[in-house]
Amino acid sequence: MQLELTVTQVSELMGVSSQAIRKKIKEGEFVAKQAQRAEGKGRPGYVIPVSSLPVDVQRKFWTTSEVAAASDIGPAEPDKPEPTGIPYTLAELEHAVGKAKFREMMAEAEYKMEIVEQAMNPPKGVERTLWITRLAKKYGKSTATLYRDMERFEEWGVLGLMRKSRLLTQGPQRTSIEPEVEKFIRMKYLDRRKPKSAHIFRETVKFCETNGYKEPSRASVFRYISDMEDYEPDLCCLAREGEEAYWKRFAEKATRKEPEFVNQVWMGDHHKLDLFISYRGRAIRPWLTVWFDVCSRTVVGWCLSDQANGRTIALALRHALLPKKIVNDDGTEDTLEIGGIPGMLYIDNGEDYKAQVRAGKKHEDWELSRETRGICASLDIKVQFATPYHPWAKAHVERFFGTFTDQFTRYQPGWCGPNNEDRPEGFDEKIAHEKGQLLNLEELSERIEAYLYDYHTTVHRTIGMAPMQKHFSTPKIREGFADERALDICLMDVERASVSANGIERFGTRGRPRWYWHPELPAYAGQKVIIRYDPNRIGELLVFHPKTGKYLFTATNKELLDFNATKDDVQEFLKRRAARRKQVKQMLHESQATLEQVVSERQGAGARMKSGSVSGAKSNVRAMLGTEQVVKQREEQAKQGNKSKRPAKTVSAFEEYILREGTEG
């Protein structure tokens, strides 16, 4: 029995006007049929099956007792004509009734078909009507039945001679359950608390005893609930599990066309590894940030760190934009030109990638993290954000992380499992750290680089070849690589700084200011200039003109430059000294620890983050806009520095730092 609602009832249920419902019927959005009686003002009346309404409206109908009670729904009219047509195939019929029943129905249809074929081919000289009358008498049938079988056979073939299956035309029917009891069962089952079938049966018995309805059997109630799960799984999922589960299982998902070119689309994401490493005197779970080329299935750039943030994203992107350095078995180094300049970055919608979305603006105006925004603007890279909280939007990179976990992470020292249930028995990261059984950041980085090489040279089932083979055999969307020196400048922090007679003050304390100086700096005294600096090397500031933005010179602080201090070192030092200031007088001497001691301690602890090795491109190097002058002047400064009293070096101190530390943050 199919429950139906009038136009007025549906409009009240959805909270819209009756005219809006009639418009949806006219446009074909709702399946409706004309009622026998008209509604007000002589307009034709319609009835709409509940099953044809949107899922959320069905849920509201079945879970709102007031609406269900107000719906004046009764059994179908007994004189309603049987619907014509057969909306199913032989295969669907066999699936619905079972093979044994289907064979029985087929044998009966074949028997009818023999009689119909005889009726359709009367002997010569015998009138057709007389022949059909003889056959009907012979087989014990009425002539009307025989004529009807002939018509159905001509229109539908053997399927027209088989009995109609109610399972396929009307769905499973529970004639032992009255309509009001059926609505009560549905209302109870479609509950976010996920009640059990046994509980619903007990509640149904109480409902029938209270209201005087016929009590259904336990088996009937259980079968009805089972049919709801089989034939209305989306409604049950939305009502019992919530919208998030419904979106994952039943919401329509767009199928994107695979990129035709290498570097056409890069997907970026973070992944917290399911293992512990030793880091600065304790055990932590590191993060891996990757950029994944969708076309070739290669990891073009990555960064391993103690935490995932905007800095690691930019460092992984830097690694992806540059060619890779590999070490051969004989110890020699070679360049592997994987990566390059992408056409589009497809990234997460989280705060690491997007600080703020301005209403009514296109994606070009979205506020990205500083590093990512600067790189994309300089290289004209389009940015596309994924739908938030929808992991299937970045299915390729999510699938890679699953493969990475199954093939690599679970077999490394310190594996802890994704949750407490899968945690190895007896594993304690603190004890493993104290015994020296855990890897450190550098060791894990080397193992990841080795695994990625094997991954890139192994046949990928989806593309039918190794990712590296696909990367080099498919044309790139854009040729060339970014310039490494210009890329380093692009990753620097940008601020405005006041110039005084003593120079530019930065990274100092109230009692101990730190000044940056250059012979040309006094010419800008009293002005605010633009400065750029690398947070990992705060011994020098790149100074730019306040109006034109052109590079002027590099101001340095000899103390910080000699000790290769970072911005984190200064912040860590200030926090420690502030805490020590509150201690008793006998501990006051600890607050006199110098910045150099802090730097020394940090250098002894090792790097905070590590990514793959990079190498200079052999050809087709594309420099970023606006930084060419800085690159040239810094190279000239490096050459002049070689002529000073310091020992001769082949590269500047800054270049040596970048080449030595790579993407250390």
Mean pLDDT of 15-38: 78
Residue environment code for 238-259, b if the CB has 16+ CB neighbours within 10 A, otherwise e: bbbeeeeebbeeeeeeeeeeeb
Mean pLDDT of 2-30: 81
Q: What is the pLDDT of residues 421-430, one digit of tens each?
A: 888 888 999 9
> Domain map of the chain by residue range?
4-70, 90-163, 179-249, 265-482, 501-661
C-alpha distances in angstroms, 295 versus 270, 327, 342, 349, 492?
20, 26, 11, 22, 31
Does residue 605 have a pLDDT over 70?
Answer: no
| Separation CA 45–CA 6 (nearest Å) | 8
Residue 612: per-residue pLDDT: 67
Mean pLDDT of 607-628: 54
Q: What is the pLDDT of residues 258-304, one digit of tens each?
A: 888 999 999 888 889 999 999 888 999 999 999 999 999 999 999 88
Residue 619: per-residue pLDDT: 43
| Separation CA 323–CA 472 (nearest Å) | 13
- Which class is 179-249 in CATH? mainly alpha
188 vs 557, residue with greater confidence:
188
Instruction: Fold for 4-70, please state it.
Output: Arc Repressor Mutant, subunit A (1.10.10)
Residue 286: per-residue pLDDT: 93
Residue 454: per-residue pLDDT: 92
Q: What is the pLDDT of residues 117-148, one digit of tens each?
A: 898 888 888 888 899 898 988 888 888 888 88
Give one DSSP letter per residue of 252-272, joined into a string.
----PPPPSSBTSEEEEEEEE
Least confident interval from 63-72, 157-166, 396-405: 63-72
Q: What CATH number does the domain located at 265-482 have?
A: 3.30.420.10
State the burial class of residue 313 (Cβ atoms within 10 Å of its Cβ: 0-12, 13-18, 19+).
buried
82 vs 40, residue with greater confidence:
40
| Separation CA 224–CA 544 (nearest Å) | 76
Least confident interval from 37-46, 165-174, 317-326, 450-459: 165-174
Please choose, from the candidates 357, 370, 386, 388, the residue with its C-alpha nearest in 3D space to the C-alpha of residue 313.
370
* Six-digit token string for 247: 């979106």
> In a 3-state reduction of DSSP, which class is residue 221?
helix
Residue 389: per-residue pLDDT: 44
Domains 4-70 and 265-482 share a fold: no
Three-state helix/strand/coil letters over 179-213? HHHHHHHHHHHCCCCCCCHHHHHHHHHHHHHHHCC
* Six-digit token string for 512: 């101990």
* Bridge partners of residue 324, in order along the sequence: 336, 614
State the average pLDDT for the chain. 76
> In a 3-state reduction of DSSP, which class is residue 312?
helix
Does residue 70 have a pLDDT over 60?
Answer: no
* Six-digit token string for 364: 């070009």
- The DSSP H or E segment spanning 288 is strand 287-293
